Structure formats: structure tokens, C-alpha cells
Amino acid sequence: MSSVSGKAFDLNLLRRTMVYVRPFKKTFWTTTIVAVAISVFAPVRPWITQYALDNYVLKKDLNGLALITAILVGVLIIQFILQFIYTTLTNFLGQEVILQLRKDLYNRLLEFKLSFFDKTAVGTMVTRLVSDMETIADIFSDGLILIISDLLQVIIIVAVMLFISPKLALISLVTIPVLLYATRIFQIKIKDVFKEVRTQVARLNEFVQEHLTGIRIIQVFNREKEEYKKFDEINLTHRKANIDSVWYYSIFFPIVEILSATSIALIVWYGGGEVLRSEVTFGVLVAFIQYINMLFRPIRELADKFNTLQMGMVSSERIFKLMDEGQKQDNRGKIVAQKIKGDIVFENVWFAYKENEWVLKNISFKIESGKMIALVGVTGSGKTTIISLLNRFYEIQKGRILIDGIDINDYELHSLRSQIAVVLQDVFLFSDSIHNNITLYDTSIAVNDVEEAGKQVGIHNFIENLPKSYNFNVMERGTLLSAGQRQLISFARAYAHKPSILILDEATSNIDSTHEALINKATEAITQNRTSIVIAHRLATVKRADVIFVLQNGEIAEAGNHNELIQKNGIYSQLYYIQFKKHENTLA
């Protein structure tokens, strides 16, 4: 993708942004025509003033003065209407563009591989979706079209001035080269500052999002002062970036005002002499003073508008870079998994998150449909990676994974995942009702199905006693519920979706003994006649598995049911007796 670096702005990047204008091209061209009309009307008012002074004021013609004043009021009304239409259309256009662009970016993010989110800060993505989008809206509401209008206005005013009095025009334009040079320097300097501002905004968002999410850890470990110091440093850097931009503005705008005043002074000095010599009329002199003000205003604003355009281009660059960086999930499969049996085969599977750093090494096993298998082993042995591969969150480097004899890459991705339900150790609940957290807005799941799921996992009575029952809002991440209650809701979610394959990833690790009994009971119901994969550190929860695979350093070290593995007196046996002894000591 193109970069804006080193250029006023990248035309390819601008064209890519303008693609989103195509559905509203009528609005765009209407707005452009209105902007041109505003520019054409710009020199009318000074000309009317000149005409009124020379033909009515100096001749003391009150009737003519009244008529020309009425005409001037009419021109002002027309300009007001045109400005109103222009402002409305440009803001409408900007909001429509970012509406579609934001939808496209969010849709792309939803389709990216999980590996992208492993290395991209959430705060960065929030900045791109929110504040950077608003900056792009300024391209249309306060940038591109207005630049065209201002340039045209400058050309028309200069042409009119040259037509009325070439001498006065040249005198008044003496300071323009200095102004153009100052504008160019300002434009170059402010561009780098704006890029730094956008960088610091993203950095600030990342920090706030991450630390507010982890506020409990901060308070538990009494890190408030230290984290405040970090925030203060980032906030100061953010302030400095904004102050730098203000500093350049505080230099540039006074320069423009001084140059404008100098031009007016030259006009008064030289033009006054011309009036005394009867070379020009008094009305022309007054009109030229108005023309100078009208000329310098768009030139001064052009620099500001170019910077608005640059900021929009910087934001566009960041947004399109985010779109282009992430790899979409491979969804080339054509087979729709409507209802699978659940036969699973891993054939010589090798996988690494980083090249040649193998997490799984030559993994092979089979799971018959309707059976329950367990994956056990120390942290980092590859248990969770196996289920991530089954869901195609990551792509394997070697080997094959088959479901019902079909390579999982041949399945249409969304249909495949619709047949698999996962209950994670770290349960995530949205700030929404319990009903919506269970159904995830799947309209095919009826209210009765949701309540049945609640009954099966043993949480129905608890939910019924809550205000609004299943419509109770659990708030962000389910903070109004206990860890056990959140876990039970995640079980109800899995049960309600009626998957062909069920995965329980450390689903009981954060549960107290009371809720564990409920979940063990629910597990028996939910795994009935369904292929199930259980990952657990608590080996008591995997005793009923048909086959237990013990992983070590990314390889299957042992396999068998509970009794067989105990008799082998190997890794599983040692792990089991260590936990058993701990349990005995706890009870003692």
C-alpha cells in the first residue's frame, strides 16, 4: 500500500478513499457546484460597494443608494443559502463515507486470523475505528472541496483586481510570494506534527483501554501510583504533540495577518495617491481593501485545509494499512457442514506459531463420534493449540486434520465452526442480557431452548431470581456475576447451540466446589452422544473420558483410559497422585 511519507499527500491513497464517495457522486458534484458558485459570488460584494460609492454616495443619490443596498442584501441572502447548502452537503457526505468505511474496517477485523489480534493492541484498533474515522470525515466537510473553492476564489479575485486596476493589483500582491513561501513551510512542518499527534492518540487509547480492563490487578497489587506515573508520561507526550501544532499555528497566522496588513497599507498609501491624482476612484480604493481581505483569508485557510487533508490522509493511511496488514481467514472450503457425526482424526500434525519453533510435533490420534477424550499435560504442552487448530483459528504447517473423513480445509469455515462449541477457562460475557449472551443473537434459538439450557446446567433457578430474569444485563465482562455463574452461563451457551463437537478448555479451573458439582452434572448431559474434547488440570474431571492423551513438549507421551494410565505408573499417574495428595492435605 502507498504511504503518505514525504509527500503533501498520496494521490493513490486519496483515490482509494474517494472510492467510498462513488455511491454519493451526485451529492459530491452538487457540493462542488455549490462551492464554485460561492467562489463566483465572492467578488460581487466589493464590486457592489465600489459601484455604490462611486455612483450614489459621492453623488448623494439616496434612491440609487437604497436600490443598490437592496441588491447587496439579496446577494448576502443568496450567499447565505449557498453556504447553508454547502455545509449541509459536505457534512452529510463526510458522515456517509466514514459510515461505510467504518463498516468495512470492522467487517475486515472480524474476518482476520487470530494471529493478527495476538500482535495488535486493542487500543490501536479502537483508535482506527473511532477517532481516525472522524478525521477522514474532515476531508470532505472541511478539506478537499473547500480547497477547490478557495483556489477558485483566489483566481477570480486576482483576475477581477487585475481587470479593475493592474497597478493597484500588482502593488497589493507584492506580499503574496512571501505568504506562499510561509504557507509551504508551515504545511511541511505541521504535517509531521499531525502524524505525531495521531500516534500519541493511539498510544493513549491503548494504555487507557488496557489498564482500565486490568483495573482489578492494579488495585490488588497497589500499583495505582506507578500506573498513574506511566499515564502521566504518555499524557504529557500527547500534550507536547498538540502544543507543537499550536506553536506552528501561533507563528503562521500572525505572519499572515502582518502580510495582509502590509498589503492594505500599500494599497492605502499608493491607492490614496492615485485617488488624489484622479487615476482611480474612491470606490475602487475601498473595493481593493475588501479584495485584499478576501484574498488573504482563503490563502491563509488553504494552508489549514491542506493540513486537514493531510491529517485525513494520515488517518486513511493508518486505516488502510490496518486493513492490508491482517490476513483474512482462509475460507476456500466448499463443503457445508450441516450436521456432522464428529469423527476426528489428526494425522502427523506439525504446528508452530513462529517458524521452526514447533509447538506440536507429529501429533496423530483418532476420536470416534460420540466419544469423550481428554487432553492433559503441563502448561505449554500444546493442549489448547490442538483445539485451536480444530477450529481453524491457525493453519497447520504439516499433516492433516479430518472431520468425518473430510479435511477441515475443505469445509466452509463458518459452517464448520457452527458445529463446534467451545467453553473456555476465561469466560467472556458481553454487556448485554443473559439471553443474548447465551444465544449470541442466533434467532434460530428459541426462548424455550434458552431456558432448557439453563435448566440442564443448573442455573435456571438462579437466573429466574434475578431482576428481569433472562433479560438481566450482566454488564461488561459479566462483572455482576461470580466466576462460577459466568462459567455456567457459558455452558448454557454451548448447550443451546447444540454442537456436534464440544470442547471444554479448563472449564472447571476457576470454579468452586459447589459450582463444580453443577458443571460436572451439566457436563454429563451436554456430552451425551456428542464428540467431546476436555482439557483439564484437575484430573478428577477427566476420569470418565474414553481416552486420555497425555501431552509433553508438543508430543503425545501416553494414551489410554484412566485406569490404564494409572497402571502404567507414568506421567499421568504421577500427575494424578500429586493432585490426590494435595487434595488429601487440603482436606486434612
Strands 547-552 and 372-376: parallel
Alpha carbon distances (Å) from 550 to 174, 297, 351, 355, 542: 85, 76, 18, 25, 12
Q: Name which of 20, 206, 213 is nearest 131 in CA terms.
A: 206
Task: For cell 447465551, name the residue.
Answer: 438
The CB-based long-range contact list for 203-209 (8 Å cut-off, 24+ gap) reads 203/123, 203/234, 203/237, 203/238, 204/234, 204/235, 204/238, 205/123, 205/124, 205/126, 205/127, 205/131, 206/121, 206/122, 206/123, 206/124, 206/127, 207/123, 207/231, 207/234, 208/123, 209/122, 209/123, 209/126
Q: What is the pLDDT of residues 244-273, one digit of tens each?
A: 878 888 888 888 888 888 888 888 888 888
Residue 204 CA, chain-centre distance (Å), reads 15
Task: For cell 502524524, name the residue.
Answer: 195
Helix (H, G, I), strand (E, B) or coil at 420: strand
Task: Give residue 587's pLDDT.
Answer: 40
Helix (H, G, I), strand (E, B) or coil at 378: coil
Run of H or E including 170? helix 166-172
Helix (H, G, I), strand (E, B) or coil at 107: helix
Strands 398-403 and 344-354: antiparallel
Check residues 375 and 223 and name the one with the higher pLDDT: 375
Q: What is the pLDDT of residues 467-509, one digit of tens each?
A: 888 898 888 777 788 877 888 888 888 888 888 899 888 766 5
Q: Average model confidence (pLDDT) for the chain?
A: 83
Q: CA 415, CA 423: separation in Å to the nearest integer?
A: 18
Q: Name which of 114, 107, 119, 110 is nearest 389 in CA terms.
A: 114
Which of these ranges, 1-10, 73-82, 124-133, 174-183, has the smallest mean pLDDT?
1-10
Cell numbers for 22:
462513488
Cβ atoms of 531 and 501 closer than 8 Å: yes
Q: At what angle do helices 282-325 and 44-52 cross, to 10 degrees?
A: 170
Alpha carbon distances (Å) from 395 to 51, 352, 469: 78, 9, 41
What fold does the segment set 344-556 form as a domain? Rossmann fold (3.40.50)
* For residue 466, pLDDT beyond 80: yes
Enumerate the β-bridge partners of residue 422: 503
Cβ atoms of 201 and 238 closer than 8 Å: yes
Cβ atoms of 343 and 405 closer than 8 Å: yes
* For residue 335, pLDDT beyond 50: yes
* Segment 552-563 mean pLDDT: 89
Cell numbers for 83:
453556504
Check residues 247 and 2 and name the one with the higher pLDDT: 247
Cβ atoms of 303 and 186 closer than 8 Å: yes
Task: Give residue 244's pLDDT.
Answer: 83
Task: Give residue 349's pLDDT.
Answer: 92
The segment(s) of the chain belonging to CATH 3.40.50.300 are 344-556
Within 10 angstroms of residue 421's Cβ, the number of other Cβ atoms is 23
Is residue 15 very low, low, confident or very high in pLDDT (cuts 50, 70, 90)? confident
Cβ atoms of 255 and 265 closer than 8 Å: no
Q: CA 526, CA 517: separation in Å to the nearest integer?
A: 14
The segment(s) of the chain belonging to CATH 1.20.1560.10 are 11-325
Q: What is the pLDDT of residues 281-330, one digit of tens each?
A: 888 888 888 888 888 887 777 777 777 777 788 788 888 888 887 777 77
What 8-state DSSP symbol labels residue 157? H
Helix (H, G, I), strand (E, B) or coil at 221: coil
Q: Going by C-beta distance under 8 Å and a sequence separation of 6 or more, which residues neighbour residue 3? A: 10, 13, 317
Q: What is the pLDDT of residues 395-449, one digit of tens each?
A: 888 999 999 999 999 999 888 888 888 888 778 888 888 898 889 888 888 899 8
Run of H or E including 502? strand 501-505
Task: Give residue 381's pLDDT.
Answer: 85
Q: Name which of 196, 305, 185, 191 is nearest 241 in CA terms.
A: 196
* For residue 558, pLDDT beyond 80: yes
The CB-based long-range contact list for 405-410 (8 Å cut-off, 24+ gap) reads 405/343, 405/345, 406/335, 408/333, 409/330, 409/332, 409/333, 410/333, 410/334, 410/335
| Residues 34, 35, 40, 46, Cα dihedral to 10° | 110
Cell numbers for 28:
459530491
* Segment 113-136 mean pLDDT: 80
Sign for the CA dihedral angle at 524, 527, 529, 535 comes to negative
Cell numbers for 301:
485557510
- How many residues does the structure list for the chain? 588
Cβ atoms of 290 and 53 closer than 8 Å: no
Is residue 351 very low, low, confident or very high in pLDDT (cuts 50, 70, 90)? very high
Is residue 345 very low, low, confident or very high in pLDDT (cuts 50, 70, 90)? very high
Q: What is the pLDDT of residues 375-402, one digit of tens each?
A: 988 888 888 899 889 988 888 889 999 9
Within 10 angstroms of residue 140's Cβ, the number of other Cβ atoms is 29
* Segment 53-65 mean pLDDT: 83
Is residue 578 very low, low, confident or very high in pLDDT (cuts 50, 70, 90)? confident
Q: What is the pLDDT of residues 497-553, one digit of tens each?
A: 888 899 888 766 556 666 667 767 777 777 777 898 988 777 767 888 889 999 988
Is residue 8 very low, low, confident or very high in pLDDT (cuts 50, 70, 90)? very low
- Give domain 11-325's CATH architecture: Up-down Bundle (1.20)
Q: Name which of 269, 307, 314 is nearest 288 in CA terms.
A: 269
pTM (two decimals) = 0.73
Q: CA 212, CA 366: separation in Å to the nearest integer?
A: 44
